[in-house]
Amino acid sequence: MELNVTGRNFREVYVNSAPETTSREQVSAAWLCEQLSEASAGGIASTLSRLIRSGVIGGGSQLPTVRALAARLGVSPATVSAAWNTLRKQRVIEGSGRQGTWVLNKPSRLAPARYENIRQFWQSGVLDLTLAAPDPALLPDAVHAMQQAEQDPELNFYERPRIAARLQRAAEASWPWEPQSWLAVNGGYEGLLLLLSSCVVPGDYVAVADPSAPRILDILEHVGARVLPVATDTSGPRPDSLELALRMQPVAFVYEPSVSSCTGDSVDAERRDQLASALRESKLLIIEDDGLGELASVPYCGLGTILPDQTVHVRSYSKSHGPDLRLAIVGGSADAVARAWGIRQFGAGWTSRLLQNALAWMLEDPQTKNQVAEAKQQYGERRKTMSGLLAQYGIEVSSKDGLCLWVPVISEQQALLVLASHGIGALGGAGSAIRSHSPMVRMSIGRELERPERIAELYSMAARAS
């Protein structure tokens, strides 16, 4: 089996040639040297970025080779290479190796490329089935929870607690194991960003389940990780693929133990034990992404119960209790949590005690618990309904868990066009894959769909388009 390693820029998986341009101008090393006031990696990157964004160097222009510019400046090739890496991360330039390096036609702002989509260009009336989002009608009342929550004696103090004491006590009751440390953060992806930012040095390898949520891949690209894809099946990440990735000594392994956002599959006890056996001699950080939280229908079978010293679990409460709570809890390895908290001090510092105590009240309130359980049942019925309607057209989908279905298609691009022509916005599976994948299109079932029979018919048409 050949190990597939992708580097800092994930687009290299999909883009293998320079962009087409009307004018491929060559930027000479001599001219560029004259523009530079500082021959450091930072100075080169800063000056070149300004020249590109101001239009002095046009899109598609070919840049000098690393060695040519280094020789002209009298610096090491590593200095120029570091500048190039910075500009790639900022999506200003592209390419490397034999193809050379060129300026992107439209240098873009720094943002999660996979997560951003065409929703901003839609007109009103488009049925958005791209997001695995909860139904607002099934969520607990956050305003009522804030009114019921006890007054925090430290409200508006400027101390920066990692987590409110009441929220920690409430979370302990349902946490899969007894973690060494806790941290409240503003959503699951902030937790993942903090953990990866604090453990990855640009160029480090990170093993990650393939497929994974697009935003996880965006975060890995942002922190400069080189990705080692770990193949998955219906029981989760495959041990043989993980063992292959471990040969490259990754600093972290990222996966979803409960309800993959891409497949709906969960890790079972047998697979957990196999993964733990493969990881037992490794010192890497195990990061568990739990996006569905208390809506998951299957029990947790992750690695935290077996390898607690090196595992950290990120549980989001957006889908179960409300996205405007902006809350997730990170619990696990004391060292990993401390490093994540340290990174957080550059920004938010702490999460609102008002929101933390509101969630704590929800987690302890019997009526809210029943409401979350009812929502879980409703989502299950919606999955079953849409799966049954698709089956009438000969389409089999995995419907084990989660807030979406993935419909197999012949061509993702054609399927998305068919749906768009009928006023449906959908999402393809390409953004979740690292290696090649089976073409599929997402159908969100979180909100109750009007005319589900018609939607199933349109998805069946899209599935056959080629």
145 has pLDDT over 90: yes
Non-local (6+) Cβ contacts of 337 within 8 A are 162, 179, 180, 181, 182, 183, 312, 330, 331
Based on its alpha-carbon atoms, the radius of gyration of the chain, rounded to whole angstroms, reads 24
Tell which residue, 301, 431, 340, has the closest CA to residue 13. 431
pLDDT at 112: 67
The neighbour count for residue 83, using CB atoms within 10 Å, is: 25
- CATH (one of 3.40.640.10, 3.60.20.10, 3.40.50.300, 3.40.50.1100) for 141-364: 3.40.640.10
Check whether 342 has a pLDDT greater than 90. Answer: yes
In the prediction, which pLDDT does 301 show? Answer: 96
The residue among 437 and 405 whose pLDDT is bigger is 405
The arithmetic mean of pLDDT across residues 440-450, rounded, is 93
Q: Is the pLDDT of residue 345 over 90?
A: yes
Confidence bin at 23 (pLDDT 50/70/90): very low
For the stretch 221-234, pLDDT in tens is: 888 888 999 999 99
**Cα–Cα distance measured from residue 357 to residue 366, given in angstroms and rounded to the nearest whole number:** 16
Average pLDDT over residues 248-268: 94
What's residue 92's pLDDT? 84
Query: Is pLDDT above 60 for 20?
Result: no
Indicate the range of 30-34, 142-146, 406-410, 434-438 predicted with least confidence.
Answer: 434-438
Q: CB-side exposure of 41: number of CA atoms within 13 Å? A: 12
Give the per-residue pLDDT at 15: 28
Higher-scoring residue by pLDDT: 168, 93: 168
pLDDT reading at 28 higher than 60 = yes
Give me the chain's average pLDDT, please. 88
Q: Which pLDDT score, from 0 to 100, does residue 5 have?
A: 40
For the 10-103 domain, the top CATH level (class) is mainly alpha
Q: How far from the centroid of its chain's Cα atoms is residue 78's Cα?
A: 30
Predicted confidence at residue 156, as pLDDT, reads 78
Average pLDDT over residues 330-341: 98
Torsions phi, psi for 285 (to 5 deg): -90, 130
The residue-averaged pLDDT of 169-184 equals: 97
Average pLDDT over residues 316-326: 97
Flag whether pLDDT at 219 surpasses 80: yes
Tell me how far apart the alpha carbons of residues 414 and 421 are, in angstroms, rounded to a whole number.
11
pLDDT digits (tens, 9 = 90+) for 381-399: 999 999 999 999 999 997 6
Q: Is the pLDDT of residue 4 over 70?
A: no
> What CATH code would you report for 118-133+369-464?
3.90.1150.10
Query: Average pLDDT, stretch 418-431?
Result: 92
Same fold for the domain at 10-103 and the one at 118-133+369-464?
no
- Count CB neighbours of 360 within 10 A: 26
Q: Compute the average pLDDT of residues 194-210.
A: 92
The answer to whether 107 and 30 have CB atoms below 8 angstroms apart is: no
> What's the pLDDT at 158?
78
Q: What is the pLDDT of residues 57-112, one digit of tens each?
A: 988 899 999 999 999 999 999 999 999 988 887 778 887 656 688 898 765 566 66
Q: Does the pLDDT value for residue 428 go beyond 50?
A: yes
pLDDT in tens, 448-462: 999 999 999 999 999
Whether 178 has a pLDDT exceeding 70, the answer reads yes
- The token duo for 179 is 């973690």
- pLDDT of residue 217 exceeding 60, the answer is yes
- The domain segmentation of the chain, as residue ranges, is 10-103, 118-133+369-464, 141-364
Residues in the chain: 466
